[in-house]
Structure 1
Amino acid sequence: MLEQRIQQQFFESADLKYQAAEVLGRPIEQAVAALVAGLTAGGRVLVAGLGASASLAQLVTAELIGCFERERPGLAALALGVDGPALSAMAVLPGASFDTVLSRQVETLGQPGDLLLLIDSDGNHPALLAAVAAAQGQDMTVIALTGRTGGALRGALGETDVLVAVPHDRRVRVLETHLLVLHCLCDAIDLQLLGEQDPA
């Protein structure tokens, strides 16, 4: 019984990835184009996620700054904080709340030409919406990775922003697919910057 349940997890995840391959190719391509254009023009990528998505934000930031699968110069990326020092800094601001922890960092660190990469399974948290508004106020492009509907983020995005909405409602499946999407972004960025890899 337990073994069947475990196998079902794999089957459900694999089925979602097949579905996502068909619907996400174009938005991921648009996200890559925005990232490459911004990075090659001297922009930076500010990355943020809440909860489990914060770990994905840290991971993709490390892969941009360090390397993905090939050696290359580091790319300017910064994971925005949602705990520790970030919250301590917010505590001294009059009227500050957790909902403004990301937007304050975007206002402080973001510049025109930078990009904001948001990762969240539903896209409804007020902190994310405030971060989008702050990024748009700084003339930054926003790329949002969400679940099926895109949540409130869908309506907050501008014409030049990009929504990559995983076609599923279950949070764990969305998170698994977000990891794959982030690796697709890193791979495609390397392809655009370095060209095809020579066969070994």
Structure 2
Amino acid sequence: MTLKSYFDTSIDVLKNARDHAGVQRCDEAAAAIVSALKNGGRLLVCGNGGSASDAMHITGELVGRFLKERAALDCICLSSNPSVITAWSNDYSYDTVFSRQVQAYGSKGSAILGLSTSGNSGNVIKAFQAAHDMGMVTIGLTGEGGGKMAEVTDILIDVPSRSTPLIQQVHICLYHYICEAVECGMFE
């Protein structure tokens, strides 16, 4: 593989994603987040590995700023507190590390955004189940088809690829779009 061929492959995946029905749900996701925030709820974000880094990135854009100088938005990254993650995982289970935090920080009318390239991350699935029990909206950013997350996700945004790095590249484009749409929706 050459750098040019990698760029060409990336461009092909981006073009396929642009026209994919699942990706067209980004506006619906942004509207759900805006609705949650305007009605006193918050946004929780979670993922594992590279998706944990993306979850932190999203939270940073919304708590800090994306493109507009504005007030902070109520957004918590469930993937970024090592004390909670390691204590809970050690004493109980890594599978419930996010659902436990949903119980702590979630509320009816809030939203949760979970990232999983496979759509099969057990702890994200359990977080979505806990969120549903609380009356929260679940938004999933996944790879093609959504995996097991598709069954517990209100708004599924699936990237038409099975390549983890390429899915993550598209996720960055999608969540940047969502962050901009949320800013516009909150601060017109």
User: Normalization by structure 1: what TM-score?
Assistant: 0.88
Q: 2:29 aligns to what?
A: 31
Determine the C-alpha separation between the residues in 1 that align with 2:130 and 2:27. 25
1:8-54 deviation line (CA, Å, top 9, x unaligned): 11111111111111124531011011011111111100000111100
Higher relative contact order (CA 8 A, sep 6+): 2
Determine the C-alpha separation between the residues in 1 that align with 2:157 and 2:105. 24
1:166 equivalenced with 2:151 (yes/no) = no
1:118 equivalenced with 2:114 (yes/no) = yes
Determine the C-alpha separation between the residues in 1 that align with 2:90 and 2:184. 44
In structure 1, list runs of 5 or more residues that go unmatched. Answer: 196-200
Instruction: Provide the aligned length of Structure 1 versus Structure 2.
Output: 187
Determine the C-alpha separation between the residues in 1 that align with 2:141 and 2:61. 17
Question: If you compute each CA radius of gyration, which structure gives the higher value, 1 or 2?
Answer: 1
Determine the C-alpha separation between the residues in 2 that align with 1:25 and 1:104. 29
Q: Answer with 132-141 or 25-34: which moved more.
A: 25-34
* SS of alignment partner, residue 46 of structure 2: strand
Determine the C-alpha separation between the residues in 2 that align with 1:145 and 1:152. 12
Alignment of 1:52-67 (within 5 A): 52-67=50-65
Determine the C-alpha separation between the residues in 2 that align with 1:126 and 1:143. 15
Determine the C-alpha separation between the residues in 2 that align with 1:55 and 1:92. 21
In structure 2, list runs of 5 or more residues that go unmatched. Answer: none
Q: Offset of 1:91 from its aligned partner?
A: 5.2
Contact 1:17 1:177 in 2 (8 A): yes
Q: Offset of 1:89 from its aligned partner?
A: 3.0
* SS of alignment partner, residue 118 of structure 1: strand
Determine the C-alpha separation between the residues in 2 that align with 1:148 and 1:178. 12
RMSD between aligned residues: 1.6
* SS of alignment partner, residue 19 of structure 2: helix
* SS of alignment partner, residue 78 of structure 1: strand
Q: Answer with 74-83 or 8-17: which moved more.
A: 74-83
Q: 1:183 aligns to what?
A: 176
Determine the C-alpha separation between the residues in 1 that align with 2:104 and 2:155. 23
Q: 1:198 aligns to what?
A: none
Q: 1:14 aligns to what?
A: 11
Q: 1:49 aligns to what?
A: 47
Q: 1:78 aligns to what?
A: 76
Determine the C-alpha separation between the residues in 1 that align with 2:143 and 2:23. 15
Specify the code of the residue in structure 2 equivalent to 1:87: I
Contact 1:146 1:165 in 2 (8 A): yes
Contact 2:13 2:160 in 1 (8 A): yes
